[in-house]
Structure 1
Amino acid sequence: MKPAFIASTALLSVLLGRYALADDDCREPVNDWQPRETLRQQVEQQYGWSVQRIKVDDGCYTLKATDRKGNAIEASYAPASLRLRKLEIHFGDNGDARDYLDRPGAQ
């Protein structure tokens, strides 16, 4: 197996493991939601992602983006707190999970 595939699988297991038992739907009151633009600015400034789309799915903000290396990102956020609920990274040929594991706060 390719080392990048093994590393990306391990990364996704760690990141998604703590959300496995959580309900897939977000249930925050619409009046408490933050604007989509706030989420866009947050991920672009914090992670350097280029956001293509943010939509509402099952009451959550779901975004599609690419990172600085062109890896595809799919993420789900709680719309009021903008807390990350789910993250998928589809690494390209040059993708490396260490880019995400070496970040401060990565678990």
Structure 2
Amino acid sequence: MKIKPIVLSLSLLAMSAGVFADDDCTDPVADWQPRENLRLQLEEQGWTVQRIKVDDGCYEVKGLDSNGHRVKAEFAPASLNLMEIKVKINREDAKDTDDFRHTIERFTKSEPAPTAAAGQAQPKQKVQ
């Protein structure tokens, strides 16, 4: 039996597992902003938020964007910066000439996120 190729394959597999584990948010819990702040930001942009939950240390949002497309997005809980977004385009009412490129609105670190006391989110930049 050839043990060397098996051991080599298993060791490469074990080393590669660490590469995929770096997509988690690492913000200290003491620095997290309330989920309601994130909900206010997204609703101000026209999103319909269905759920916000914590997954791998990030806020995971499921809902509809301002164009009616289903969205699953991850945000850093302290800064509320967008980490990842997945969009499922609603093509039911689409025409052949429609452009399906999606504009992502992202919160930059230079702009402060709203606070619960302020009650209103500040305008955000659009990134195309």
Task: Output the TM-score relative to the length of structure 1.
Answer: 0.69
1:97 to 76, 96, 100: 100
CA displacement 1:9-58 (0-9 Å, x = unmatched): xxxxxxxxxxxx9931001100000000000000110x200000000000
* 2:61 counterpart of 1:58: no
The within-5 A match list for 1:8-19 is: none
* 2:80 counterpart of 1:82: yes
Shift of 1:92: 1.0
Q: Looking at CA atoms only, which structure, 1 or 2, has the larger radius of gyration?
A: 2
Residue matched to 2:114:
none
CA displacement 1:54-77 (0-9 Å, x = unmatched): 000000000001023321011000
Unpaired runs of 5+ in structure 1?
1-20
SS of residue matched to 1:23: helix
Percent of aligned pairs with the same amino acid: 51
Q: When the two structures are aligned, how many residues end up with a matched partner?
A: 84
Unpaired runs of 5+ in structure 2?
1-19, 105-124
- Relative contact order, higher structure (CA 8 A, sep 6+): 1
Q: Larger % of helix: which?
A: 1
